[in-house]
Structure 1
Amino acid sequence: MLTVTRYKMQLIDLICEDMASHKDDFTQHKLVLTGRDPVEINSGVIIKCQDMKTTEEEADTMIVQQVAEVKTKKVLVVADDTDIFVLLLHFCCQDLLAAHGLTGCDTVATYFGIGKAVALRVLRAGVHALSDIGDTIRVLSEFTSQATPFILACYGQPKCTSLTEARQKMWASKVGRSVAGAPKLASLPPQMRHSRKMWPALTFRWQSGGMHCNQIHREWIQHLDGHGKMAPKCFSQQLFPVTSP
């Protein structure tokens, strides 16, 4: 049941309402409820905290941010989830979230054999800027111009000009070293069309009233229909030839 978002939101609302109804029990401690409408319960008094309202979709990082907001001392985070570490470090390195998204997150598939340590090493080299990744005003060509060199560097192919060239080069290298047969396709860089699929996935933003994104293609716009579901308007052009050459 909790895999359905609206059911999960209803459960959160019920828990927050129940805890707020016991406000008189919180006389010695401060309690912050970050449900649909954030409130602070202090000395039996409920105070609305609209300044703490957020569109952050990661509950773990949202908890840390709000604890830091209401507490002046240092906040110690103990977690075994790499995503939490990466998302929180965004405040120290603005390109870190983009690198995290490019190398695998909730909406983008990860690359075989390319972990966060590899992405961090490429990022620390300071050669590849990722300022356009996730920016809703950027077009596909601008996204690709930054994402492609970064991905190539993660695969150790910084001199290649395209993912196709890197795939061919790595294929030839692996075949030449192995006598057992062809290498696994998963070990090669993604295809060029991967950027087209990855671009809208990294550009979606939560806004008031639901999930929206700017026009991500001249003839492809994602929007919310009357039932609160994503309804794509698909390409009118053909994505592949009707007949083989």
Structure 2
Amino acid sequence: MQKGDVYLVFDRYYEYSTKDVTRSARNTEASRVHQLKVTTELPSQKVILTVTENKKQLIDIICTELKGDVSFHRNHIQNHKLIITSQDKTPIEISNRGLIINRGDINTTHEEADVIIVQQMLMAAKEKPTSITVLSDDTDVFVLLLHYYLEDGLKFMVSMESPIKDRAIVDIGKTVEKHIDIIPEILAAHALSGCDTVACCFGIGKSTVLKVVRSGLLSLLGQSDAPLPSVIQQATKFMTACYGQNNSDTMSNARLSAWAAKTDKGYTSTPKLCSLPPTSETFEENVKRAHHQASIWRAVKDADPPELDVEKYGWKKDETNRSLVPTTVPDTVSLAPDAVLRLIRCGCESDTPCRSSRCGCRSADLSCTMFCVCHDGICCNTNAL
């Protein structure tokens, strides 16, 4: 606060969020919801940061204390401003030793702090500062800073610094200058190759992706008005190149070619299926999610994210938990050819057949069929996809 204005941004937590899967994965380490108060001792960091309800409470406490701490206002907020963005769409500004106003001019309904951080950096850039420091170590923020630094033609110093002491400080301008040939495509490539809301393809790391990136190859990903078939076609061409299968026109063909190469003469073991390219049907659902995410990133300069129906972009609504779950394959697509499904049958004959993972169908995440022994009884395999 002694050197310049500070923009403090917190994540938001909406129902039916595309971040639900990532947050649920974190919740496996802790699940208890605490009643947090300023006067009580905080639970461990893991308990706070892995349970959404605990994080929301902590954010509310921090924001309330910052707004109400008169001593802090008098001693630290004198010549500069503190702008706080939390759950409400309207950020608040604290200045002049305690003057609090609503900043309706920077209203935003974006959910992700990553997006809001870059959005507010671009707004601050309009005041022509000599430098801006972004305090974050998130890869999404880094990619967005590179993209918009180039797109907006910024010339002043923008640096990205980790909150963790003694880590390197990244000069965004110099990074853009050094990698100017790939920056135009880096946002789309990052979304497609894996981020919080999009699964990565096995064995395809960011270094592989950066070798394939070139201008125009992913020009449609994230353009919300682009025809989805064209987006998928571009993404397929890009990902088959990442797998070294440039002659394959579909991911399924690339998968077949990779399988043939891995089972050719000289190989003594069968390759793991996860090491192969995904099928076309599975990949297309992932492309839809990447397209949706990239569309949000491309809307950083807008107050609101694009109004897209998430159920058309690789997600399903879980009405019970009011959350989203990714679609692995469309409901109309079988998990395996009919000939293969007929070979997979269970022999469960108990009073409650197919109740445990000892059921061959359940363990394979398949529904029991008319070929199974349990067919004429009361099958308990009701959770299979």
Q: TM-score, normalised by structure 2?
A: 0.51
Which residue of structure 2 lines up, in the alignment, with residue 163 of structure 1?
251
* Structure 1 residues 20-61: Cα deviation after superposition (integer angstroms, max 9, x where no partner): 112543224421111223122111212322233334444356
Q: Contact 2:251–2:283 at 8 Å: present in 1 too? A: no
1:96 corresponds to which residue?
186
> For structure 2, which runs of at least 5 residues remain unmatched after alignment?
1-32, 34-48, 151-182, 297-301, 340-385
Q: 1:11 to 1:210 in 2, by over 3 A?
A: farther
TM-superposed deviation, 1:102: 0.8
Amino acid at match of 2:100: I
Alignment map for 1:33-72 (pairs within 5 Å): 33-35=84-86, 36=88, 37-43=90-96, 44-60=98-114, 62-63=116-117, 65-67=119-121, 69-70=123-124, 72=129
Q: SS of 2:131's equivalent?
A: coil
Residues 194 and 241 (structure 1 numbering): CA distance in 2 closer, same or farther, change over 3 Å?
A: closer
Amino acid at match of 1:59: A
CA-CA distance at 1:9 after TM superposition: 3.5
The structure with the larger Rg is 2
Aligned-residue Cα RMSD (Å) equals 3.9
Q: What are the Cα deviations for residues 170-219 of structure 1, in whole angstroms up to 9, with x where unaligned?
A: 222222364331223232211111233214423267799999633755xx
| 2:56 matches 1:9 | yes
**2:132 maps to amino acid:** V
What is aligned with 1:86?
143
Ranked by relative contact order (alpha carbons within 8 Å, sequence separation 6 or more), the top structure is 2
Quick one: percent identity of the two aligned structures?
36
- Tell me the distance in 2 between the aligned counterparts of 1:225 and 1:244: 31
- Cα–Cα, structure 1 residues 237 and 13, in superposed 2: closer, same or farther, change >3 Å? closer
Please tell me whether residue 174 in structure 1 is matched to residue 262 in structure 2: yes
- Contact kept in structure 2, 1:139 and 1:216, CA below 8 Å: no
**Does the 8 Å contact 1:225/1:231 carry over to 2?**
no
- Unaligned ranges ≥5, structure 1: none
1:98 alignment partner AA: A
> How far, CA to CA, are the matches of 2:257 and 2:139 in structure 1?
32
| 1:63 counterpart letter in structure 2 | I
Alignment match of 1:141 (pick from 229, 232, 239): 229
1:155–1:127 Cα change, 3 Å: farther
1:30 is aligned to 2:81: yes
Tell me how far apart the structure 1 counterparts of residues 238 and 227 of structure 2 sit (CA, whole Å): 17
- In 1, are the aligned partners of 2:185 and 2:215 still within 8 Å (CA)? no
C-alpha contact 2:109 2:305 (8 A) present in aligned 1: no
Answering whether residue 210 of structure 2 is matched by residue 130 of structure 1, we say: no
Cα offset for 1:99?
1.1
Q: Name the CA distance, whole Å, in 1 between partners of 2:322 and 2:124.
A: 33
Taking a change above 3 Å as real, the CA distance of residues 55 and 189 of structure 1, as seen in their structure-2 partners, is farther
Per the TM alignment, residue 151 of structure 1 is displaced from its structure 2 partner at its CA by 0.6
What secondary structure, in the 3-state scheme, does the structure 2 residue paired with 1:46 have?
Answer: strand
1:8 maps to a residue whose letter is: K
Contact 2:81/2:95 (<8 A) preserved: yes
TM-score normalized by the length of structure 1: 0.75
1:31 maps to amino acid: L
**How many pairs align?**
239
Task: Return the offset for 1:117.
Answer: 2.1
